[in-house]
């Protein structure tokens, strides 16, 4: 316990040599009175020596490591405190308790041990009795006194007598030491203050430490006050609620909370949910009833119950089974697409004959390039059936919880997209369109495509369990329609659950009809123009289709029609005069500027250059395949961002031409003397697939026979090592691409003939000659000039021999 210090007690001069008392975790400052318990023999000896021979003076030095029992010179801090022993008392356990008072700072000059006793020669630092006063000293003293008052007001315990002494002391050094003695410091921090000899610098340091301690006291006080106020507020609210409850009971009024519970109970009864779901809802309602209404868990349960009671467990729209009406609606909204319309009418016919709800909703997948009407077709189907229509885009979805929902343990959890769509529809048998199903992704959060397996399986989706709901919901009556641009990116198990309906691109004639009957009327309405002021000529529309769009669908065509109509609207708005505009080629060019696309076909027949046909996500394209040779060692060089399958097609083609070298009058040594380089332009675009096989073979054969390839012939088909031409896909898009490019003859695999004749209407086959082949030799005879003559000459020579 600290005791007040009075300066008159120090009268005897301090000896140069004193006994040493090492202290473990305590720093005694000058002017400080403090009790010390001593137990080590050499320390007890030092106290006895001090009392007997050194006028009660002893030197106190802090140990660097408190666990060392017998410290040496390196284990002690060199600067310590000269102290005088005021009292000594022996305890029962052979320890001594002394009361010491700090006198002055001192530094160890020499340390020695003699007869179980440490003695030190010291240099005493004389404290200036007077100190030149300045503004900084005065400011520091005033600030320290104010801070001490504040610390006391915040609960710091200081002996009142010591507080009075601190307020009366004027010497900076003495004030600093007294204040340091009351601070809550670690021994290392206290030692650093003790080692500061300059009084002003020591006063600054002590001031900073006191300021920090007062700051901590303020924070602690604030925390305690806030905690106390919060407890008082909670208690006050609790008592008030209890009083309100008692008053309401006396008056016979209903509790709002009880009303909420009753409303939920009523909604559960009216929702028509299955018995097992109803049990779960009632269980959660009982939990809510027992909880505090403002708790976080109560909010989670309310949201969950809202979802349960708002889902259409037993609500469905009645299908309109009038087939003639449905056909009329489908024809009004979309041109052609006969396969899709036929499938919907078949569904309605079966539903009509069955006359019950046991029929499962079909799961269709529309596959085709952008802009052919896949998404809008879903709306038309819903309108024809008289069902609600909801759409969910799956493009870029990579989290499995997006489909199945998040568990309620997560903050902000919600059901998945399927249940959200059902709630949005308000019926359990809507037309639900899952757009861009081919663009699903997967990562560490799961594979959403795998989660769709259950949704799109009629045998499983009768009891689809969303993670958020945790109870089964019947999806078997939902009519699912998926859309995709390509099939190869859809996982095979998922594809197996869907009925794929391909929607190919449109021919020029079909686009012309769609523009006249669908796009132009819609855009006239959008731009506010009346049909009597605008007339599109066939020539003008064809020019717009050929030279300003290049697509399988009609989305870009509609944008260009809109651009033309906007120009007309601007002219009418500026001039204020309404006149009839007849849209011709020249007017299209005037409004839209220079043509964006020109015909792509080669103007001249060239050796080693073949026009191939390719299928892309946006429709068909013509593909120029070039081959050249240069002196080398018979290597095959392939460029143009080709995939593995396309590279293998090129190797197969070269191997076949090599095997027929003698028949085609090619010197076999040429294959060893020359390197063959096959390139497919637009090298930055990745290309893959086997359908360029006959095109590459034709280019290589032309290269080694030095016969040109016809520029007005395009081809597609896979080749085998025996020269057979195998079927490929995407033929309608490829044929339309050839027609756009002005190609006369298109060579196709014979196995695709029935498909082509069925998919492509007669008017689309006009002005183009489709040639179906079984063997690559037939391709060479058609596409390579004078190839047949070359073969005949070779055969004639064999007969003479």
- Contact between residue 553 and residue 370 where contact means Cβ atoms under 8 Å apart: yes
Within 10 angstroms of residue 730's Cβ, the number of other Cβ atoms is 23
714-752 pLDDT tens trace: 999 999 999 999 998 888 888 888 887 778 899 999 998
Rounded average pLDDT over 235-250: 75
Within 10 angstroms of residue 690's Cβ, the number of other Cβ atoms is 18
C-alpha distances in Å from residue 443, one per residue of 397, 400, 446, 484: 10, 9, 6, 21
Higher pLDDT, 368 or 792: 368
**Residue 304, SS3 per DSSP:** helix
Tell the residue number behind the tokens 């909670």, with chain if given: 234
CATH number for the segment(s) 609-796: 3.30.230.10
Statement: residue 6 has pLDDT above 50: no
CATH of 508-592 among 1.20.1250.40, 1.10.8.60, 3.40.640.10, 1.10.357.10: 1.10.8.60
Q: Per-residue b/e over 160-198, b at no fewer than 16 CB within 10 Å?
A: eebbebbeebebbbbbbbbbbbbbebebeebbebbebee
Question: How far apart are alpha carbons 509 and 517 in whole angstroms?
Answer: 12
The whole-number pLDDT of residue 626 equals 92
Within 10 angstroms of residue 425's Cβ, the number of other Cβ atoms is 21
- Contact between residue 414 and residue 475 where contact means Cβ atoms under 8 Å apart: no
C-alpha neighbours within 13 Å on the C-beta side of residue 113: 10
The whole-number pLDDT of residue 768 equals 86
Question: How far apart are alpha carbons 606 and 623 in whole angstroms?
Answer: 15
Longest dimension (CA), the chain: 146
Statement: residue 5 has pLDDT above 50: no
CATH number for the segment(s) 323-502: 3.40.50.300
Statement: residue 253 has pLDDT above 70: no
331-356 pLDDT tens trace: 888 887 788 888 888 888 887 787 65
The whole-number pLDDT of residue 356 equals 58
Question: How far apart are alpha carbons 697 and 723 in whole angstroms?
Answer: 9
Torsions phi, psi for 479 (to 5 deg)? -95, 105
**Annotated binding residue 369:** yes
The whole-number pLDDT of residue 4 equals 39
**Annotated binding residue 372:** yes
Rounded average pLDDT over 269-274: 87
Q: Per-residue b/e over 20-32, b at no fewer than 16 CB within 10 Å?
A: bbbbeeebbbbbb
| Least confident piece of the model among 131-135, 444-448, 490-494 | 131-135
Q: Which of 727, 689, 737, 715 is nearest to 784 (CA)?
A: 715
The whole-number pLDDT of residue 424 equals 92
Is the four-CA dihedral 290, 292, 294, 296 of positive or negative sign? negative
The whole-number pLDDT of residue 509 equals 80
Q: Which residues pair with 281 in a beta bridge?
A: none
Question: How far apart are alpha carbons 776 and 698 in whole angstroms?
Answer: 8
Statement: residue 1 has pLDDT above 50: no
**Annotated binding residue 634:** no
Residue 530 in tokens: 């009346």
Q: Residues, the chain, total?
A: 801
Statement: residue 688 has pLDDT above 90: no
Within 10 angstroms of residue 342's Cβ, the number of other Cβ atoms is 13
502-530 pLDDT tens trace: 887 787 788 888 899 889 999 999 888 88
Q: What is the DSSP string of 391-410?
A: EEE-TT---THHHH---TTS
Statement: residue 758 has pLDDT above 70: yes
Residue spans per domain, the chain: 7-125, 256-310, 323-502, 508-592, 609-796
Report the C-alpha dihedral over residues 417, 420, 424, 430, rounded to 10 degrees. Answer: 60
Statement: residue 43 has pLDDT above 70: yes
The whole-number pLDDT of residue 748 equals 93
- Interacting residues of 99 by C-beta distance below 8 A, sequence separation 6+: 3, 33, 34, 35, 36, 85, 86, 87, 88
Tell the residue number behind the tokens 């600093």, with chain if given: 176
Residue 235 in tokens: 């208690």
- Residue 558, classified by CB atoms within 10 Å of its CB into exposed (0-12), middle (13-18) or buried (19+), is buried
Q: Tell me the fold of 7-125.
A: 2.30.130
Segments of 561-644 assigned E as strands: 581-583, 609-616, 619-631, 636-639
Statement: residue 10 has pLDDT above 50: no
Q: How confident is the model at residue 170 (pLDDT cuts 50, 70, 90)?
A: confident
441-473 pLDDT tens trace: 777 677 888 888 888 888 888 889 999 988 999
Which CB contacts under 8 angstroms, 24+ apart, belong to 152-161?
Answer: 154/214, 154/217, 154/218, 154/220, 154/221, 155/217, 155/221, 156/213, 156/217, 158/182, 159/1, 159/2, 159/3, 159/4, 161/4
Q: Which residues pair with 609 in a beta bridge?
A: 626
Q: Which residues pair with 724 in a beta bridge?
A: 775
196-230 pLDDT tens trace: 888 888 888 888 888 888 888 888 888 888 888 87
Segments of 421-556 assigned E as strands: 431-435, 464-465, 472-473, 479-484, 499-502, 534-536
Within 10 angstroms of residue 548's Cβ, the number of other Cβ atoms is 22
The whole-number pLDDT of residue 793 equals 64
The strand pair at 713-715 and 745-749 is best described as: parallel
Q: What is the DSSP string of 104-159?
A: EEEEEEEEEE-SS-EEEEEEEEPPPSS----HHHHHHHHHHHHHHHHHHHTT----
The whole-number pLDDT of residue 234 equals 76
Statement: residue 617 has pLDDT above 70: no
| Least confident piece of the model among 117-126, 287-296, 388-397, 672-681 | 287-296
**Residue 432, SS3 per DSSP:** strand
The whole-number pLDDT of residue 255 equals 63
- Contact between residue 34 and residue 98 where contact means Cβ atoms under 8 Å apart: no
Which CB contacts under 8 angstroms, 24+ apart, belong to 656-662?
Answer: 656/697, 656/719, 656/721, 656/722, 656/723, 656/776, 657/697, 657/700, 657/701, 657/704, 659/721, 660/723, 661/704
**Annotated binding residue 386:** no
Question: How far apart are alpha carbons 207 and 287 in whole angstroms?
Answer: 58
Higher pLDDT, 255 or 459: 459
Please give the distance of CA 387 from its chain centroid, rounded to a whole number: 35
Rounded average pLDDT over 789-801: 60
Q: How confident is the model at residue 42 (pLDDT cuts 50, 70, 90)?
A: confident
566-583 pLDDT tens trace: 998 888 888 877 788 888
Cα angle: 171, vertex 172, 178; to 5 degrees: 90
Catalytic residue positions? Answer: 691, 734
| Least confident piece of the model among 122-136, 551-565, 763-777 | 122-136
Question: How far apart are alpha carbons 502 and 730 in whole angstroms?
Answer: 10
The whole-number pLDDT of residue 388 equals 92
Residue 30 in tokens: 């000058």
- Contact between residue 610 and residue 709 where contact means Cβ atoms under 8 Å apart: yes
Segments of 641-731 assigned E as strands: 674-679, 713-715, 718-719, 725-726
Rounded average pLDDT over 179-199: 85
| Average pLDDT of every residue of the chain | 84
147-168 pLDDT tens trace: 888 888 887 888 887 888 887 8
**Annotated binding residue 375:** yes
pTM to 2 decimal places? 0.60
- Residue 469, classified by CB atoms within 10 Å of its CB into exposed (0-12), middle (13-18) or buried (19+), is buried
**Annotated binding residue 373:** yes
The whole-number pLDDT of residue 2 equals 40
Rounded average pLDDT over 182-195: 86
58: part of which helix (H) or strand (E)? Answer: strand 57-62
- Interacting residues of 446 by C-beta distance below 8 A, sequence separation 6+: 399, 400, 401
């Amino acid at each position: 316990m600290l005791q007040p210090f009075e300066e008159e007690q120090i009268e005897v001069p301090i000896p140069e040599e004193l006994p040493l008392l090492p202290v473990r975790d305590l720093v005694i400052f000058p002017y400080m009175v403090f009790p010390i318990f001593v137990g080590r023999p050499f320390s007890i000896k030092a106290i006895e020596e001090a009392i007997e021979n050194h006028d009660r003076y002893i030197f106190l030095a802090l140990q660097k490591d408190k666990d060392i029992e017998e410290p040496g010179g390196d284990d002690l801090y060199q600067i310590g405190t000269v102290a005088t022993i005021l009292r000594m008392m022996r305890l029962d356990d052979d320890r001594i308790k002394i009361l010491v008072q700090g006198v002055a700072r001192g530094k160890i000059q020499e340390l020695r041990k003699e007869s179980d006793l440490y003695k030190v020669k010291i240099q005493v630092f004389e404290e200036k009795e007077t100190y030149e006063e300045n503004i900084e000293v005065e400011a520091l003293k005033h600030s320290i006194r104010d801070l001490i008052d504040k610390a006391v007001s915040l609960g710091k315990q200081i002996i009142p007598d010591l507080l009075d002494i601190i307020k009366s002391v004027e010497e900076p050094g003495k004030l600093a030491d007294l204040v340091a003695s009351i601070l809550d410091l670690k021994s290392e921090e206290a030692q650093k203050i003790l080692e500061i000899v300059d009084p002003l610098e020591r006063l600054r340091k002590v001031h900073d430490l006191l300021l920090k301690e007062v700051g901590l006291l303020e924070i602690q006080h604030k925390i305690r006050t806030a905690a106390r106020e919060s407890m008082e507020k909670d208690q006050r609210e609790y008592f008030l609620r209890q009083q309100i409850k008692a008053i309401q009971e006396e008056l016979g009024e209903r509790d709002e909370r009880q009303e909420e519970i009753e409303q939920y109970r009523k909604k559960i009864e009216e929702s028509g949910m299955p018995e097992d779901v109803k049990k779960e809802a009632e269980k959660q309602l009982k939990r809510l009833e027992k909880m505090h209404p403002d708790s976080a868990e109560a909010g989670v349960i309310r949201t969950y119950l809202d979802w349960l009671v708002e889902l259409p467990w037993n609500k469905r729209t009645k299908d309109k089974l009038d087939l003639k009406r449905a056909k009329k609606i489908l024809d009004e909204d979309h041109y052609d697409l006969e396969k899709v319309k036929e499938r919907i009418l078949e569904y309605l016919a079966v539903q009509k004959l069955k006359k019950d709800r046991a029929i499962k909703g079909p799961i269709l997948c529309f596959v085709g390039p952008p802009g052919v009407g896949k998404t809008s077709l879903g709306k038309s189907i819903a309108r024809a059936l008289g069902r609600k229509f909801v759409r969910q885009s799956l493009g870029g979805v990579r989290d499995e919880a997006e489909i199945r929902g998040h568990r309620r343990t997560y903050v902000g959890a919600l059901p998945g997209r399927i249940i959200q769509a059902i709630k949005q529809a308000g019926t359990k048998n809507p037309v639900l369109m899952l757009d861009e199903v081919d663009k699903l992704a997967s990562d560490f959060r799961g594979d959403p495509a795998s989660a769709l397996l259950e949704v799109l399986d009629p045998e499983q989706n009768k009891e689809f369990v969303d993670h958020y709901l945790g109870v089964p919901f019947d999806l078997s009556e939902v009519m699912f329609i998926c859309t995709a641009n390509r099939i190869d990116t859809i996982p095979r198990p998922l594809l197996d659950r869907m009925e794929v309906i391909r929607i190919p691109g449109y021919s020029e004639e079909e686009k012309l009809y769609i523009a006249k009957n669908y796009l132009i009327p819609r855009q006239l309405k959008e731009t506010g123009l009346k049909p009597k002021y605008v007339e599109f000529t066939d020539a003008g529309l064809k020019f717009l289709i050929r030279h300003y769009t290049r697509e399988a669908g009609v989305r870009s065509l509609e944008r260009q029609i809109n651009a033309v109509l906007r120009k007309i609207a601007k002219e009418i708005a500026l001039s204020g005069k309404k006149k009839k505009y007849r849209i011709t080629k020249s007017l299209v060019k005037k409004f839209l500027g220079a043509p964006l696309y020109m015909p792509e076909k080669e103007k001249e027949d060239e050796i080693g250059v073949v026009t191939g046909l390719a299928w892309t996500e946006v429709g068909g394209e013509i593909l120029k395949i070039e081959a050249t040779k240069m002196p080398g060692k018979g290597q095959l060089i392939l460029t143009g961002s080709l995939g593995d399958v396309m590279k293998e097609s090129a190797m197969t083609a070269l191997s076949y031409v090599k095997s027929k070298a003698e028949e085609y009058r090619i010197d076999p040594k040429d294959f060893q003397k020359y390197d063959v380089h096959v390139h497919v332009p637009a090298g930055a675009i990745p290309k893959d697939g086997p359908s360029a096989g006959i095109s590459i073979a034709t280019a290589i054969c032309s290269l080694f026979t030095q016969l040109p390839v016809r520029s007005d012939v395009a081809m597609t088909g896979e080749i085998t090592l025996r020269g057979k031409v195998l079927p490929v896909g995407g033929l309608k898009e490829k044929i339309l691409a050839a027609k756009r490019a002005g190609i006369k003859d298109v060579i196709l695999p014979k196995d695709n003939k029935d498909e082509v004749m069925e998919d492509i209407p007669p008017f689309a086959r006009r002005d183009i000659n489709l040639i179906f082949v079984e063997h690559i030799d037939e391709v060479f005879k058609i596409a390579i000039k004078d190839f047949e003559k070359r073969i005949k000459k070779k055969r004639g020579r064999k007969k003479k021999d």
